[in-house]
Amino acid sequence: MNHSAQAMSVKRAEVEFHNFASLGEPERASRVYAEENERRGAILKKHAAFIGGFTPFLEIGANAGHTSYMLANEFSAEGFALDISADSLRHGIALQEQWGMPKAPVRMAGDALRLPFKDNSLRTVLAYQMLSQFQDIEAVFLEVKRVLQPGGVFIFGEEPMRRALSLRLYRCPYVETMKPWERKLHEWGLLGYLVRDVIGAHQEESFGIRQNHRMNLRHWHDLVRKHFVAQEYEICVPERGWGERGMKRLLQKLDPYGSDWRGARGLGGTLAASCRKAGTAVSPPYEATKFEQYLRCPDCGGDLHRDADDQLLCGSCTYATPNEGGVYNLLNSADKKELYPGERADVIDFSLPGHEARLGEGWHPLEGVFGNRFRWIGGRATATLENVRGSAQRLRIRGFAPERPEQLFRVALRVNGQEAGETKLDRPGLFVIEQDVPPARDYQVEIQVSPLWQPAGDARQLTVNLSMIRLVPAD
């Protein structure tokens, strides 16, 4: 496995982000997931002749599993939904009930760089909005090619293409947290000429998820041609406002074939591709009741079997994983220990029961749903953490700043009585603050925020709300 393709700090951030974002705002999330399924389903139907059958399929980076539910129910496919976040897959089970879908994929936590599947075991592998989270995208291609059957198809979509026509001055957040002048330039189709890479990537990067937006259309095409023998593309070039619509038309006229290729190289956009592996397709019957036959141990590569308690166990080593809330955790043992430590004294996750034991003064009642549980604070709040690793640590705080006209928040930290830095939040919305802390066994954390504000009809004086406080290795 190529460990440099994705650092442990990024994997840790992805687990946290997917848990937080999967269904943190249920109504908005379900609407977005439904829109994504409609868009993805239309492309799959358009390329149905090239793709052929799906079963057995694997979706990697499945998030809440919504697209896998679509495949199981609308396309009558059998297969697996895999994401590094077991919690996001568990939260996503609510979608199955909400959408009235009788069939579900086998859900599992796993690593795209070490897929827990046997060689040549899958007919189709799908990946949406996830390849650009790897610094070495080819490493994922190699792992996908390993598990695909001869003649199998790799489908990826909504991957960003690097834009040539941009000054790359700064990274811009999502539309909801843009400043008024940014939003206006965005509507006119001019903001893309100024900002770096993908609008909105700032939020994921604030979590510590490193983005790889170096790939232009030519790079994607060369990578596909290197590993697959045939392919079909869907290219989406942005047309926001007159600034991009006019340039897209001009680049189409300059293209010798009248295609979108030149437009994609100039304005970027997103790419979807269906890629066929070499070999003659032979699809043996899939036995859904014996899905473990397609899996392999993420530690030693041995065969897995299921016992009477629905545990997956390796026949060659001591690896075992239970079915927890409909999800198997098939990360290798070292990653599982790091990414899923259980209740630990160096993490205060407001989504977990018992977190209040490490909170001190200044916290208001728990609010929110699913992975997005939070508490408002006033001007000051305290908490206690323990350094369970013994190594150098960073303090990591996740929160949300409300939109207040002409009001920016300042967050000052004190750790064990010493000043530990101050951050000015220049935008409303989600924020993550990280700060190195001096060596110690225990940390008394004090969070001071200003200015105060008062909600209408509420006697409380508030500042921001927080949803996680933790220590992470200073790597």
Taking only the tens place, the pLDDT of each residue in 383-396 is 999 999 888 999 99
Q: pTM for the full model? A: 0.91
Q: Where are the beta strands (DSSP E) in 196-344?
A: 230-236, 269-276, 304-306, 312-314, 320-321, 323-324, 327-329
For the segment 323-334, what is each residue's pLDDT rounded down to a tens digit?
999 999 999 999
- The contacts of residue 302 (CB under 8 Å, 6+ apart) are 296, 314, 315, 316, 317, 319
Alpha helices, DSSP H, located in 189-332: 201-207, 217-227, 241-254, 261-267
Residue 90 backbone phi and psi in degrees, to 5: -65, -45
Q: How confident is the model at residue 2 (pLDDT cuts 50, 70, 90)?
A: low
| pLDDT, position 174 | 83
Q: How confident is the model at residue 149 (pLDDT cuts 50, 70, 90)?
A: very high
Decide if 320 contacts 326 (C-beta within 8 A).
no
What CATH topology corresponds to 3-276?
A: Rossmann fold (3.40.50)
Give the residue from 322, 300, 324 showing the smallest Cα distance to 313. 322
Q: What is the DSSP string of 69-93?
A: HHHHHHS---EEEEES-HHHHHHHH
Decide if 234 contacts 269 (C-beta within 8 A).
no
- Does the domain at 347-473 match CATH 1.20.1250.20? Answer given as no
Decide if 1 contacts 114 (C-beta within 8 A).
yes
Which structure tokens are listed for 449?
């925020």
Give the chain's length.
Answer: 475
Mean pLDDT lowest for which of 7-11, 163-167, 448-452? 7-11
Name the residue type at position 114: R
The ranges of the chain annotated as CATH 3.40.50.150 are 3-276
The alpha carbon dihedral of 339, 343, 346, 350 has a sign of: positive
The ranges of the chain annotated as CATH 2.60.120.260 are 347-473
The alpha carbon dihedral of 6, 343, 411, 419 has a sign of: negative
